[in-house]
A and B are shown apart, each in its own frame.
Chain A
Amino acid sequence: MLDDISYRVKVPFTLTLVILITACVVTLALTWRAYEELREDAFHNAVEIGSVLSNSLPNAMLHDDLWGAYRLVQAAKGWQGEASSRLLVVLDKDDLIYVSNRPSELAVTTPLRSHGAELARVEVEVLRLTGNLDPRSYEHKNDQRLYVILPMLSDGVAIGTLIVGYDRSLFWPRFTSIVEKVVVSALVVTVLLLPLGWFLGNRVVSPLGQLTKCMSMVGHERPAEIVCNLRLGNDEIGRLGVSFQKMLVELEEKEQLEINMLASERLAAVGRLVAGVAHEINNPLGGMLNALNTFRHYSQTDDLGRETFSLIERGLQQIRDTVSALLVEANPRSHSLSPKDIDDIRTLLLPDVNRKSIRLVWKNEIAENIPLPSTPIRQLLINLSLNAVQASYEKGMVQCSVDSKNDILSMRVENEGPEIPKDRMMHLFEPFADGATGNGLGLWVTYQLVHLLDGNITVNSKNGKTKFKVELPIGEAM
């Protein structure tokens, strides 16, 4: 249930709750403090009364001057505004009431316990603490009053006890006013903090929400097409964003890899098929051509016959050309690749480039001969660069760059012509693929050549640019 609620609600709600709880706890603490202070005040007030009476009252008691004691107690009653409900009781050494400021209720010579349960408890407390000469407070939760018990000393000996009772109801106005202030301040603070809590909560949660939104797109859309405006950083959410972006990149790479693997497997199968078929065709074809040749040399035939044989020979020749075009083979006799080989290709391109007013950017960064066969490399570079020129718009730009680094020969060919559609991309390197121009074998041958040289070829067509990249490992010297 709680798990189903969005963090957008939960986090600010929790913050709000924390603020409210804090406010409550602070309120309680301050309220408790206020109550304690009131109690302390009462205690100090009682001790003050006790010290003021400590000279005269024991003297009056010693001389059994009840009226004098009563007048002292009466005078003590009038010292403060709240005094009307302050109870003062003097007990004699037998713990009977010697005098009080409420003589009509607390009759002289009666025991405290005869005046209700509350005073009975006080009497128990007085008896319990007999011998303790320090003032002490006494409180019972059901009592109407707080009590402070002060022994009355004469020459260091307790001759009676002064009990000062403070009506709790008197504390209420002071107490409630303090509590009121505390509660109002807590409310103000809460009201000020709540929007802040919501703001902070949302700030924390909104990247999570964004992340959730992005994650839910994974599986439905290509990783490369998922655009997320994630906060990147070093905190947890930032790191999550970074990881997520990394994951997207890796997913994309994996997907690309899968596509590539699928394509190369298919191409390999096609290659095997083509080689097998070509072989099966080439054998009878060679025989047929030989037979035809022999026949032409040694036989007498009329014009129609010659024309027919010539027609058959041309047809067979075309089959052989096609088959040999499909059967790509590296010529092991080719010399190693020199910088000039690359530049020659540029020269070969120039007529087409000029015709279409194309701007050709040519970067040949090979400084010396490279131990790779020049013929297939020339072949594939010609294929790629001619394709690029053909695909380019008039006055477009074509870039070719060749370099060798870390035993890798890299060739990049880039044009700004129309992008290769997605469905064609899947079958780009297959022979006679749909939409292919020319004889439909240019990229097939290129692909086969790259594989013969243990290299790989990638194509990337987006943002108005189509880029072929060939990487060939440079082996030992040929």
Chain B
Amino acid sequence: MPTEYVKRVLAACVITVLSISNTANGLAGDTKEYRIGLTSVIFADGTAFVNDWRTYLTHHLQAPVKFVQRQTYREVTDLLLAGDLDAAWLCGYLYLQHRDELELLNVPLFKGKPLYHSYLIVPSSDTKTRKLTDLKKKVFAYSDPDSHSGYRYPQLSLISAGIEPKHFFAKTFFTWSHRDVVNAVADGVAQGGAVDSYVWETLAEKDPQLSRRTRVVSKSPEYGFPPLVTQRGLAQRRADNLREALMHMSSDDMGSKVLQILNLDGFTVGNDDLYNNIADSIRIVEQGG
């Protein structure tokens, strides 16, 4: 089709011109677009909230910002590793899995600490369950296979108790978001689920009707909060700019507003030590699995 062909040629030209101008800008004052990947570790994924956050970052970075959202952790990680993203908000587990290629950017502060738990939840109608092993031959909801709180920690618990996780439950499934784990358990699709404490606690504040239909049975030890990470290859200046912009959020009106929506106190620098116990659990699971 000639028209299609013409369109493609034109599109190619426009892209070329844009990249040339971007390169030129980058050379002048680094106004290259920041691409940040988001996963369901965060509670809110509404367009309005993302717009506010982008406005804030664009203003502080003096560069365009684009948020990229994918359904699974894995997809976002792949994009980051492929260099398509400058930074991404990932689970600590994934950060550890790709420690060689990734670098810690910021760690969010939830209730003043860069820490969170994995919650074991059951429907509120279930008043008997006291621990994960009570859910034998039940249906269990995980959030994402690459989520520490939503998959790895329950596996770790079972393995620690000497149980082979594959055949423990009657059925397991992934909801691909922590919030949907709560939904699945509240609706009774699953008789148990593993959820990020940050998500559950935030729901308890913002959507108590949903969280009230579930009961937290047990809480894991504290783990490092899912961090924002960058590719190791990212220019130091861009990483510093981004880190600074995020850290500055709590002292800015618009930034505070975004943090309020995120139900976070702010971002801190963080260090790898936060994730040591996750690294331990990876080892245990890998040995056990």
On A, residues with C-beta under 8 Å from B are: 64-67, 70, 99, 102-105, 107-109
A104 partner, pick from B125, B174, B176, beta carbons under 8 A: B125
Q: Does B166 contact A (CB under 8 A)?
A: no
Q: How far is the CB of A160 from chain B (nearest CB, A)?
A: 14
**What residues of chain A lie closer than 8 Å to B173, measured between beta carbons?**
64-67
- A104-B125, A109-B170 known; A67 and B191 CB under 8 Å? no
Q: How far is the CB of B8 from chain A (nearest CB, A)?
A: 31
- Evaluate contact between B187 and A104: CB separation under 8 angstroms: yes
Q: How far is the CB of B139 from chain A (nearest CB, A)?
A: 5
A310 to B174: give the CA distance in the assembly, Å: 166
- Evaluate contact between B188 and A107: CB separation under 8 angstroms: yes
A107 to B171: give the CA distance in the assembly, Å: 11
A70 to B174: give the CA distance in the assembly, Å: 12
- Evaluate contact between B171 and A103: CB separation under 8 angstroms: no
30 contacts between A and B (CB under 8 A): A64-B173, A65-B174, A66-B171, A66-B173, A66-B189, A67-B174, A67-B175, A67-B176, A67-B180, A67-B184, A67-B189, A70-B184, A70-B187, A70-B189, A102-B188, A103-B187, A103-B188, A103-B189, A104-B187, A104-B188, A105-B188, A107-B139, A107-B188, A107-B191, A108-B170, A108-B171, A108-B190, A109-B139, A109-B170, A109-B171
When C-beta atoms are compared, the residue in chain B nearest to A92 turns out to be: B171
**What residues of chain B lie closer than 8 Å to A104, measured between beta carbons?**
123, 125, 187-188
**What residues of chain A lie closer than 8 Å to B141, measured between beta carbons?**
67
Which of B171, B189, B190 is the most central at the interface, judged by chain A CB atoms within 10 Å of its CB? B189
Which of A67, A99, A104 is the most central at the interface, judged by chain B CB atoms within 10 Å of its CB? A67
**What residues of chain A lie closer than 8 Å to B184, measured between beta carbons?**
67, 70
A103 to B123: give the CA distance in the assembly, Å: 11
Q: How far is the CB of A272 from chain B (nearest CB, A)?
A: 127
A461 to B218: give the CA distance in the assembly, Å: 130
- Evaluate contact between B139 and A108: CB separation under 8 angstroms: yes
A104 to B188: give the CA distance in the assembly, Å: 4
When C-beta atoms are compared, the residue in chain B nearest to A102 turns out to be: B188
A109 to B176: give the CA distance in the assembly, Å: 21
**What residues of chain A lie closer than 8 Å to B170, measured between beta carbons?**
108-109
A65 to B145: give the CA distance in the assembly, Å: 13
**What residues of chain A lie closer than 8 Å to B171, measured between beta carbons?**
66, 108-109
When C-beta atoms are compared, the residue in chain A nearest to B173 turns out to be: A66
Which of B125, B180, B188, B191 is the most central at the interface, judged by chain A CB atoms within 10 Å of its CB? B188
Contact mask for chain B residues 173-186; partner A; CB cutoff 8 A; 1 contact, 0 none: 11110001000100
A166 to B170: give the CA distance in the assembly, Å: 29
When C-beta atoms are compared, the residue in chain B nearest to A65 turns out to be: B173
**What residues of chain A lie closer than 8 Å to B191, measured between beta carbons?**
107
When C-beta atoms are compared, the residue in chain A nearest to B123 turns out to be: A104
On B, residues with C-beta under 8 Å from A are: 123, 125, 139, 141, 170-171, 173-176, 180, 184, 187-191
Q: How far is the CB of B166 from chain A (nearest CB, A)?
A: 14
When C-beta atoms are compared, the residue in chain B nearest to A105 turns out to be: B188
**What residues of chain B lie closer than 8 Å to A64, measured between beta carbons?**
173
When C-beta atoms are compared, the residue in chain A nearest to B143 turns out to be: A67
**What residues of chain A lie closer than 8 Å to B123, measured between beta carbons?**
104
A105 to B191: give the CA distance in the assembly, Å: 12
A107 to B125: give the CA distance in the assembly, Å: 14
A411 to B165: give the CA distance in the assembly, Å: 138
When C-beta atoms are compared, the residue in chain A nearest to B213 turns out to be: A104
Q: How far is the CB of B11 from chain A (nearest CB, A)?
A: 31
Q: How far is the CB of B202 from chain A (nearest CB, A)?
A: 20
Q: Please give me the 9 A-B residue pairs with the lowest Cβ-Cβ distance, nearest first.
A: A104-B188, A66-B173, A103-B189, A103-B188, A67-B175, A108-B139, A109-B170, A109-B171, A70-B189
Q: How far is the CB of B145 from chain A (nearest CB, A)?
A: 13
Which of B173, B175, B190 is the most central at the interface, judged by chain A CB atoms within 10 Å of its CB? B173
When C-beta atoms are compared, the residue in chain B nearest to A73 turns out to be: B189
**What residues of chain B lie closer than 8 Å to A108, measured between beta carbons?**
139, 170-171, 189-190
A102 to B189: give the CA distance in the assembly, Å: 8
**What residues of chain B lie closer than 8 Å to A109, measured between beta carbons?**
139, 170-171
**What residues of chain B lie closer than 8 Å to A99, measured between beta carbons?**
189
When C-beta atoms are compared, the residue in chain B nearest to A69 turns out to be: B173
A401 to B97: give the CA distance in the assembly, Å: 148
Which of A65, A102, A103, A109 is the most central at the interface, judged by chain B CB atoms within 10 Å of its CB? A103
18 extra interchain contacts, Cβ-Cβ under 8 A, other than A67-B176, A108-B170? A64-B173, A65-B173, A65-B174, A66-B139, A66-B189, A67-B173, A67-B174, A70-B184, A70-B187, A70-B189, A99-B189, A102-B188, A103-B187, A104-B125, A105-B188, A107-B191, A108-B139, A108-B171
**What residues of chain A lie closer than 8 Å to B189, measured between beta carbons?**
66-67, 70, 99, 103, 108
**What residues of chain B lie closer than 8 Å to A103, measured between beta carbons?**
187-189
A107 to B141: give the CA distance in the assembly, Å: 13
**What residues of chain B lie closer than 8 Å to A105, measured between beta carbons?**
188
When C-beta atoms are compared, the residue in chain B nearest to A99 turns out to be: B189
**What residues of chain A lie closer than 8 Å to B176, measured between beta carbons?**
67
A109 to B169: give the CA distance in the assembly, Å: 11
When C-beta atoms are compared, the residue in chain B nearest to A100 turns out to be: B189
Q: How far is the CB of A185 from chain B (nearest CB, A)?
A: 46
A136 to B141: give the CA distance in the assembly, Å: 33
A67 to B184: give the CA distance in the assembly, Å: 8
Q: How far is the CB of A378 from chain B (nearest CB, A)?
A: 132
**What residues of chain B lie closer than 8 Å to A67, measured between beta carbons?**
141, 173-176, 180, 184, 189
A103 to B187: give the CA distance in the assembly, Å: 6
A70 to B190: give the CA distance in the assembly, Å: 11
Which of B123, B125, B174 is the most central at the interface, judged by chain A CB atoms within 10 Å of its CB? B174
**What residues of chain B lie closer than 8 Å to A66, measured between beta carbons?**
139, 171, 173, 189
Q: How far is the CB of B101 from chain A (nearest CB, A)?
A: 29
Q: How far is the CB of B213 from chain A (nearest CB, A)?
A: 10
Q: How far is the CB of B214 from chain A (nearest CB, A)?
A: 12
Q: How far is the CB of A98 from chain B (nearest CB, A)?
A: 9
Q: How far is the CB of A91 from chain B (nearest CB, A)?
A: 14
**What residues of chain A lie closer than 8 Å to B188, measured between beta carbons?**
102-105, 107
A442 to B278: give the CA distance in the assembly, Å: 158
**What residues of chain B lie closer than 8 Å to A107, measured between beta carbons?**
139, 188, 191
Q: How far is the CB of B49 from chain A (nearest CB, A)?
A: 22
A66 to B141: give the CA distance in the assembly, Å: 9
A419 to B270: give the CA distance in the assembly, Å: 148
